[in-house]
Chains A and B, each alone.
Chain A
Amino acid sequence: MSEALALVPKAEAKQSMKDFKSDQEVRWCPGCGDYAVLAAVQSFMPELGLAKENIVFVSGIGCSSRFPYYMNTYGMHSIHGRAPAIATGLATSRRDLSVWVVTGDGDALSIGGNHLIHALRRNVNLKILLFNNRIYGLTKGQYSPTSEIGKITKSTPMGSLDAPFNPLSLALGAEASFVARSIDSDRKHLQSVLRAAADHQGTALVEIYQNCNIFNDGAFDVLKDKDSAQEAVIRLEHGQPIRFGAPAEDGLGRMGVVRDPASGDLRVVDVTVEGTDSVLVHDAAASSPTTAFALTRLADPDTLHHTPIGVLRDVKRAVYDTDMAEQLEQAVVQQGKGDLGKLLAGGDTWTVAG
């Protein structure tokens, strides 16, 4: 068991996916990517072996935010954008809980952008699953802060003028200690990322590309179609050279990511032409976020070509709730355990006799 979950009580008996299904009927649109994520999470949870009464899912508002209703754990469906703040209070005051936030691109990056970046910089022990479908679903199809420029939606009949956020670039800029990305339909990969997030001490941000088959269908097809994915997706693995595409002679991808010596930026090269010597080896634990940031910039925002998935960054740094608990303990050492009578009396008192 990882250090991150050391304070969370363990399940007494072996758990199965069924233990994490609530009795509520799931009400997402048929074919929604959320079903796949729910199944992936429910089937992953038993692996953690935690007492399920010590697991809490907190969400905001949006399609994805209905998620807690379907988990047979403790849960709160709160208000738009505020889940990271609510979860911060919960995780900070109850270190025996495993706290998960479920949010979407509108919830986390638009109305709740402030809470997201501050949760990341504080590094509270909570795991944020950001379902990114690049559209507003629950309000029926307006563009979101991750929609591409020029997107035609109900609120942008002539095309969206907003430049989108790259959620992972944003997270790294906000000092996130754990940043990862996965795809709704790739359960195996998604669960590997969830595992790494659960093991991480502090705030983990997992962006999950999720298909909205009603308002933005096929947004991530290029990453899912077997043929196109080979060229479009860069699968990052810690300690491995960053290679993708059709296999080269050595069995690894024909394409590689190298650092341009002139600009310091990253670029994609054909290793059969340029050789493999300069291909970067992925280091998620690198103390500087510079290379992770550069990786997040490789994807073409329009075509999604060269989209990295996997754990981009996973580093250790001070965890807010751990440090707060330590301050409380230190205060008792320094000042003694709180004595209310002494506190109320303060320094200067006088007595009126009866």
Chain B
Amino acid sequence: MTSQVSTSAGDPPAVGDVLGEQRRPEKQTRRLDRVIIRFAGDSGDGMQLTGDRFTSETASFGNDLSTLPNFPAEIRAPAGTLPGVSSFQLHFADHDILTPGDAPDVLVAMNPAALKANIGDLPRGAEIIVNTDEFGKRALERVGYAANPLEDGSLESYSVHPVPLTTLTLEALKDSGLARRDAERAKNMFALGLLSWMYHRPTESTESFLRKKFAKKPDIAEANVTAYRAGWNFGETTEDFAVSYEVAPAASAFPPGTYRNISGNLALAYGLVAASKQAELPLFLGSYPITPASDVLHELSRHKNFGVRTFQAEDEIAAIGAALGAAFGGSLAVTTTSGPGVALKSETIGLAVSLELPLLIVDIQRGGPSTGLPTKTEQADLLQAMYGRNGEAPVPIVAPATPGDCFTAALEAARIALTYRTPVFLLSDGYLANGSEPWRIPEEGELPDLRVDFATAPNHTNADGTRVFWPYQRDPQTLARPWAVPGTPGLEHRIGGIEKQDGTGNISYDPANHDFMVRTRQAKIDGIQVPNVAVDDPGLADGTGRARTLVIGWGSTYGPITAAVRRIRREGGQVAQAHLRHLNPLPANLGQVLGEYERVIVPEMNLGQLAHLLRAKYLVDAHSYTQVTGLPFKAEQLAAAIAQAAEPVGTDGRSGNATKAEGNADV
């Protein structure tokens, strides 16, 4: 916590009146500019829901925020074990922030496993709220605690709040008539109530959420609301919590507009619905369930009233096959998956390249290879998207930078697919998919016009004067071929994966024709119009001159890289930053931009895939800084690595390993 402003004791909490508990001891309210909270518990403890609710309360309060859900792949790992720990980190502030934060100021630990798994991330002085009811001998032993850390002094450097959360929840629900087991499950809402009191969060939305969620089980709904209120009241009355905190809304961080909180997968699904509307084409999704992409399938399945068809296929191959069939029929066709699914779809992507039909391939990347880390993030599918097919099969690649940006990126991927009649990769990742941030809701007038012209008439005259349709007669500007959908009289034609004669599309094994077609397909992708990459180099504007070092990234590393760069600049360092949304083709000005800097540093959550592309294409000595932990970069660590790599030429600027950074990133 970077700044604390004490105000007079007894300032009334913003929404305390709603809750009705009236005996109020002397309490202090302190003002903070930002807080990082991590909720941690068993994967069955409801930590994701708790985090989601705190996020919603925080978003509607008007703070800027960024979240990091982190959960195991197992649905219910053995209770009380380290692998079963599920956590949700939330960073919120009264100013513009970019990451979910490096180190939590507050840890809510629902059991010893949650404490043990997360204590290493906590800076000294952090607050720890523990559920003491779960700290029995066996539970401690299960995670390897020889002594109770709440009693052996090992937590001395933290501010520990021991709270018997389970007991207090059961006590609050003793008249509810619920079985003990059911009542106990509301303890996450007790914790949420306590934290909501501590940070002056508005409570109404959570209460109405609970009543709606459990509408069919009103007794459960009431129990959760009661536990939630009891948690709030506990904070209000108990002497252990003498201080509550205010984090003012981040009014100046946001341009004017209407905002909501949104996760990457939700934004992506909405982007697809919006693209369908803007293109005036029905949306068809062929998908096979896979983490972390399934939520896009779930979401789109709920919007059939937009004419959206969702098809849960028998496998990944059928999913993209059906999408390609729908594209042939004139739909805006999409398949959603993760890395392993992309591997299975490769042959069909190649067919789509050959057929030159619009198709979106959404890859929500996760840790690999193989099954890898299904619930963790990584951006190691870049080269798979770029090259993972037989033959010369170029595919454009678009990558969103933030959760909200997934919406815009989906529209951009659709623009490219529809304009150039090509499959397009949209590379999101697990961090963007599940993370969330405030998002300015665009007005419909701001959305791009994506309408397309289907072919309606013959486009070629034969030597004998007859008018015919040539499916591979290209637009001279875009090199796109006509999209003639079945049902259009006179344009009956056959297309396939065998090499086609230029123009007619008939089967051709002619050597010169194949050479021409391979080069033409490549030229079409190379010629896709994408915006120039913008460089943020404050020295150019303020007269101090160009920085020596450029940091360039792509995709979800935008937040951590930008935070790291801000940190370096605040400490007097000079560094320029650029971020790529288009990975194929790369922006036309990129070669020039790279040439203007002595050092180019490329942080990535892989082993240097973008750096590899930049080196190959621009012969630039790009320095790779990489991390494949399944978690996003931490800003402080990244800042240190960038600073080190940016040292004058002659010293070893390469930094392959992160320096272990302690403390709290102020970004």
Contact = CB atoms under 8 A, between A and B. Distances in A.
Contact of A350 (B62, B274, B325): B62
Chain B, interface SS category: mixed
A273 interface: no
A88 B56 CA distance: 40
A58 interface: yes
A90 B56 contact: no
Contact of B324 (A86, A118, A335, A350): A86
Contacts of B325: 58, 76, 85-91, 93
A336 B488 CA distance: 31
B497 interface: yes
Nearest to A77: B496
Contacts of B489: 51, 53
B322 A343 contact: no
Contacts of A340: 273-274, 277, 306, 444
B608 to A, nearest CB: 33
A348 B496 contact: no
A354 B257 CA distance: 8
B348 interface: yes
A249 B605 CA distance: 83
B258 A351 contact: yes
Contact of B348 (A74, A79, A97, A349): A79
Contacts of B351: 78-79
B255 interface: yes
A93 B62 contact: no
A93 B326 contact: yes
Interface stretch (B327-335, B552-560, B628-636): B327-335
A350 B258 contact: yes
A53 B490 contact: yes
A328 B258 contact: no
A85 B254 CA distance: 46
A89 B333 contact: yes
Interface stretch (B162-170, B240-248, B309-317, B536-544): B309-317
A327 B260 CA distance: 29
Interface residues of B, number: 71
Contact of B282 (A87, A93, A115, A345): A93
B304 A352 contact: no
A334 to B, nearest CB: 7
B442 interface: yes
A74 B493 contact: yes
B496 A78 contact: yes
A216 to B, nearest CB: 24
Given A73-B492, A331-B304, A92 B59 contact: no
A157 interface: no
A140 interface: no
Interface string A24-53: 100000000000000000000000000111
9 contacts: A74-B493, A75-B493, A76-B355, A93-B326, A324-B309, A328-B308, A328-B309, A349-B260, A351-B257
Interface of A: 9, 22, 24, 51-56, 58, 61, 68-69, 71-79, 82, 85-94, 96-97, 114-115, 118, 324, 327-328, 330-332, 334-338, 340-341, 343-346, 348-354
Top 5 A-B residue pairs of the complex, sorted by shortest distance between their CB atoms: A77-B496, A89-B322, A89-B325, A338-B306, A85-B321
Interface of B: 56, 59-60, 62, 205, 251, 254-262, 270, 273-274, 277, 282, 284, 286, 303-309, 311, 313-315, 317-319, 321-331, 333, 347-348, 350-351, 355, 441-442, 444, 486-498, 506-507
